[in-house]
Copies of this chain bind each other. A is one copy, B any other.
Amino acid sequence: MIGCDCVVCRSEDPRDKRTRSSILVQSPECRWVVDTGPDFRAQCLREGISHLDAVLYTHGHTDHVMGFDDLRRFCEFHKEGLPIHASPSTMEDLRRVFAFAFSGENRVPGYVIPKPTLIEGPFFLEETRIDPLPVPHGRTMVTGFLFSRSGEKCLAYLSDCNAVPEPVLEQIAGVRVLIIDALRHRPHPTHLHIAAALDVAEKTDPGAVWFTHMCHDISHAMVEKELPPGVRLAYDGLRIEA
């Protein structure tokens, strides 16, 4: 955290250097990212990402959308616009914040050209089925995602939520990999804390659990060794098969 000299902020462990939460999903047919926070350009450069087929958004908070304009680089392969999947309220946030991109007026080569696609139920990206998972994040509802292939639940992504409602618990039960919000040890009004995230894991019995969106209360090395088997802390650059 800016201006902080706690042990985690001063840590030499690269896993304690966290940029804003996001994932890239590579299916056999195509690839997409979930969210484009302010670090999106730095993350793409770090991981050598040069092509995207779509972008999904969980919600419109600054730490999840402010890198949107850096999608411009991926638009040249999408003459009709880069498919942007977001709930109606998140799309409204994107349209307000990046008005220049959605107005249709700036069609200069090299500019970002979105193709807005509202999430209003399950949809497919090639052979991957994507179920939106509505979860509370403070006073707002945001979108988690369940990615399935051939009826198999491969990956659930719940980066920002302070609870997981019963219907979502049922939807993600038995998923191979669960990536879930676990901000810190103490409860927080808009994020799951570690005990609450473990409770979700216990109720849904995933093959593997990765915690994400941790704050600087969490020392990677110290906290990970206290977690139950099968539960780990994600870090920047982590690659997972699901």
Flag if B67 contacts A66 (CB, 8 Å). Answer: yes
The proximity string for A residues 1-20 relative to B, scoring 1 for CB distances below 8 Å and 0 otherwise, is 11100000000000000010
The proximity string for A residues 66-97 relative to B, scoring 1 for CB distances below 8 Å and 0 otherwise, is 11111001100000000000000000000011
Flag if B39 contacts A42 (CB, 8 Å). Answer: yes
The proximity string for A residues 28-50 relative to B, scoring 1 for CB distances below 8 Å and 0 otherwise, is 00000000001111101100011
- Integer count of this chain's copies in the complex: 2
**The residue from B3, B40, B42, B45 contacting A50, defined by CB atoms under 8 A apart:** B3
Nearest CB of B to A202, in Å: 31
Chain B residues closer than 8 Å to A44, beta-carbon distance: 2-3
CA–CA, A19 and B45, complex, Å: 11
A185 near B: Cβ within 8 Å?
Answer: no
Flag if B70 contacts A3 (CB, 8 Å). Answer: no
A125 near B: Cβ within 8 Å?
Answer: no
Chain B residues closer than 8 Å to A63, beta-carbon distance: 69
Nearest CB of B to A191, in Å: 13
A118 near B: Cβ within 8 Å?
Answer: no
The proximity string for A residues 93-114 relative to B, scoring 1 for CB distances below 8 Å and 0 otherwise, is 0001111000000000000000
A27 near B: Cβ within 8 Å?
Answer: no
A176 near B: Cβ within 8 Å?
Answer: no
A115 near B: Cβ within 8 Å?
Answer: no
The 7 closest A-B pairs by CB, nearest first: A3-B50, A62-B69, A2-B73, A66-B66, A38-B38, A2-B44, A97-B97
